[in-house]
Amino acid sequence: MVKDNLEWKLYGLEIDDYSEELGIFFEHEGYPINRVKPTDNPFLFKNKRSISKLIRKSIDIKEGERVLALYGNNRLHHFTYGLCKLADKLNKEYCYIHIDRHHDWWRKKASDLDCGNFLEKIYKDTNVKKKINNLMFIGNHYYELLDMVPESQKDELRSRCLFTSHIYDYKNKQYKPGWLKVVEKMLDNSHEKVYVSMDLDVLHGDDFLTCYEPGILRSVQLMQILTLIKEKKKIIGADVVGYVGRNPVIELQIYKKIVNTLLQ
Ligand SMILES: [Mn+2]
């Protein structure tokens, strides 16, 4: 167990209607959620600077604290770049854990930040410090991720990825035993501080539906991963995206389980 005495601050970053729904839900459930609505049009914020500035003015964090930010649909996942820049203020170095069906590292030449390309910026411009061993990918479906780094770094990056094919045996239609051990090993080889970003399209369609096609992880398995991270590492911040209200009864309970697992 890692000694972990940072105080969580729960934020509802209400940059779309769905995140407002989440904020209202958690407030009604009695959670100490800081609901902020920094903009009516998140798509006006297109680059690293404007997004970082928006996050900085919306979220207040001091020494000894960490933020869990809940925001809306996963087309906005690039706001996580701003959340990492905020985490940079208090943490010289950390490992970024991307739990997502997509690696979000596409279109390397695009200058604007969007939900498909922000991973490169997190890798290069935050206190992840361009170190492959400060990255972890869980539940990603696309091996093309490995093409995003030079040949010499591919093996290292591969050792830090739990692809869908590592979790699920598509041929025999069953989950592979021992997949959680792989996560454990990756954590053992990671920086003691971690930032965790979750795009809930990583979850199986029976559990959660987002703007994009669903993944393979069951919600119970996601909680196992979070519990393991909590046991082994010092979490310095986290965020969750994906909610578009497709099945609120089940999906809001999953959000609640994530929040409880992290905050307890
Ligand atoms: Mn994503």
Helix ranges (DSSP H) in 76-148: 79-88, 118-125
Does residue 46 have a pLDDT over 70? yes
- For residue 161, what pLDDT is reported? 98
Q: How far is the CA of 103 from the centre of ligand 1 (A)?
A: 7
Angle between helix 118-125 and 79-88 (nearest 10): 10
Phi, psi of 241 (to 5 degrees): -130, 165
Any domain includes 172? yes
Buried-state track 8-43, b at ≥16 Cβ within 10 A, e below 16: bbbbbbbbbebbebbbebbeeeebebebbebeeebe
Q: How far is the CA of 70 from the centre of ligand 1 (A)?
A: 14
For β-strands 168-169 and 174-175, DSSP reports them as antiparallel
Q: How far is the CA of 116 from the centre of ligand 1 (A)?
A: 7
Does residue 1 have a pLDDT over 80? no
Any domain includes 64? yes
| pTM of this structure | 0.97
In DSSP notation, 6-73 reads: PEEEEEEE-SSHHHHHHHHHHHHTT--EEEE---S-GGG--SHHHHHHHHHHH----TTEEEEEE---
Any domain includes 242? yes
| pLDDT tens digits for range 194-205 | 999 999 999 999
Q: 72: pLDDT confidence band, cut at 50, 70 and 90?
A: confident
Does residue 3 have a pLDDT over 80? no
Does residue 58 have a pLDDT over 90? yes
Average pLDDT, the chain: 96
Range of the domain at 117: 7-263
Domain count, the chain: 1
| CATH number of the domain bearing residue 98 | 3.40.800.10
Burial class from Cβ neighbours inside 10 Å (0-12, 13-18, 19+) for residue 51 reads: buried
| pLDDT tens digits for range 74-117 | 999 999 999 999 999 999 999 999 999 999 998 767 779 999 99
Q: How far is the CA of 207 from the centre of ligand 1 (A)?
A: 17
Does residue 27 have a pLDDT over 90? yes
Q: How far is the CA of 99 from the centre of ligand 1 (A)?
A: 8
Any domain includes 1? no
Which whole number is the average pLDDT over 146-171? 97
Q: How far is the CA of 26 from the centre of ligand 1 (A)?
A: 23
Q: How far is the CA of 172 from the centre of ligand 1 (A)?
A: 28
| pLDDT tens digits for range 204-227 | 999 999 999 999 999 999 999 999
Q: How far is the CA of 104 from the centre of ligand 1 (A)?
A: 6
- For residue 5, what pLDDT is reported? 85
Which whole number is the average pLDDT over 42-60? 96
Does residue 2 have a pLDDT over 70? no
Q: How far is the CA of 251 from the centre of ligand 1 (A)?
A: 17
> Tokens 């697992």 sit at which residue?
261
Q: How far is the CA of 132 from the centre of ligand 1 (A)?
A: 19
Angle between helix 179-188 and 219-232 (nearest 10): 30
Any domain includes 34? yes
Q: How far is the CA of 64 from the centre of ligand 1 (A)?
A: 28
